[in-house]
Structure 1
Amino acid sequence: MDRSEKAVLTNMCMVCDDKGNVLVLDKTDPAYHGITFPGGHVEKEESFTDAVIREIFEETGLTVRRPQLCGIKQWQQEETGARYIVLLYKTTQFSGTLCASEEGRVFWTPLNKLHSLHLAEDMADMLHVFTDDNISEFYYLPQSSFEYVLK
């Protein structure tokens, strides 16, 4: 019995400084816009860690080090049947000069003020996975793009 399935692999990273701030991206993509953490797709034959380091650099100009996997967001895409997986990372180690990209404007904001910004869809719920060590998964229930569980 074949247990393989088609999957889309992506990542997102919460970069934190030593002052209680997080790095955010104000995405301009019409399909997914608003304030989110930077990240993107894992390329074929690329390691997950290399992918998140590359994506953060491309979108922010910063080079992150030692990103730690803190959770997963996943759902089945209705159009393709593929499982869409977002590997969630966080780090406090980075260097470089912050700069915007074609993805949108990037800036630092206090983590405790993040909820007052115009967040991207389900970003407020995803924050629980990034900040609560007892939650490691954000999963949309099959057959429903509106119901999800945090595990």
Structure 2
Amino acid sequence: MAGIEKVIFMNMCMVYDKEGNVVALDKVGKNYSGTTFPGGHVEPGETFRESVIREIYEETGLTIQNPRLTGIYHWMTGDIKNVGFLYKTSEYEGKLISSEEGKVYWISGEEFLKKPLAPGMEQVWQMMHDEDAQECLQTLTEEGIVSKIQ
């Protein structure tokens, strides 16, 4: 049937404190690696919000409250559309604990941007900090990856 596409839903959350620090994840994986924010896939039966709260807990040991949706990030992998919901919050409890996903730690925003970032994190950072940037579409072209942010 024409017009139907497979979609994978994901999330990512920038957890931050009052001093301008963020929780970074040094992601280790075959398909996606580099410094990023924690997050993951939405499981069947979960709301997007429940999913981001669970993922942040699994990857960082922190229990977050009141994650605020700040943007949507999407791209194609073959014939599958990947849709990531971007959240941020400064409300959290607990102690940072790294997981099999990679090491987690607090870092200043300035230092975060100097790290070897995972693909697309420059655009994610922009959407976390620019109220007018709410959506990013990444497209692979012959010239490389093109980002359309609106």
Task: Place the TM-score, normalised by the shorter chain, in its bin.
Answer: over 0.9
Gaps of 5+ in 2: none
TM-score where L is the length of structure 2:
0.92
Partner residue, 1:21:
21
Task: Tell me how many residue pairs correspond in the alignment.
Answer: 149
Q: In structure 2, how many angstroms separate the alpha carbons of the residues matched to 1:39 and 1:116?
A: 21
Q: In structure 2, how many angstroms separate the alpha carbons of the residues matched to 1:24 and 1:133?
A: 22
Q: Amino acid of the residue matched to residue 126 of structure 1?
A: V
Partner residue, 1:118:
116
TM-aligned CA deviation for residue 6 of structure 1: 1.9
Q: Is structure 2 residue 127 aligned with structure 1 residue 129?
A: yes
Q: What is the DSSP-based 3-state SS (H/G/I as helix, E as strand, rest coil) of the residue aligned with 1:86? A: strand
TM-aligned CA distance change 1:57 to 1:119, over 3 Å = same
Gaps of 5+ in 1: none
* Aligned partner of 1:109 among 97, 107, 110: 107
Q: In structure 1, how many angstroms separate the alpha carbons of the residues matched to 2:71 and 2:146?
A: 18
Q: Amino acid of the residue matched to residue 103 of structure 1?
A: E
Percent identical across equivalent pairs?
Answer: 40
Q: In structure 1, how many angstroms separate the alpha carbons of the residues matched to 2:2 and 2:30?
A: 37
Partner residue, 1:76:
76
Partner residue, 1:88:
86
Q: Amino acid of the residue matched to residue 119 of structure 1?
A: L
Q: In structure 1, how many angstroms separate the alpha carbons of the residues matched to 2:23 and 2:72?
A: 19
Q: In structure 1, how many angstroms separate the alpha carbons of the residues matched to 2:32 and 2:2?
A: 33
Q: In structure 1, how many angstroms separate the alpha carbons of the residues matched to 2:118 and 2:75?
A: 17
Partner residue, 2:147:
148
Q: In structure 1, how many angstroms separate the alpha carbons of the residues matched to 2:34 and 2:101?
A: 11
Q: In structure 1, how many angstroms separate the alpha carbons of the residues matched to 2:3 and 2:49?
A: 25
Q: Amino acid of the residue matched to residue 41 of structure 2?
A: H
Q: In structure 2, how many angstroms separate the alpha carbons of the residues matched to 1:28 and 1:75?
A: 21
Q: In structure 1, how many angstroms separate the alpha carbons of the residues matched to 2:4 and 2:91?
A: 35
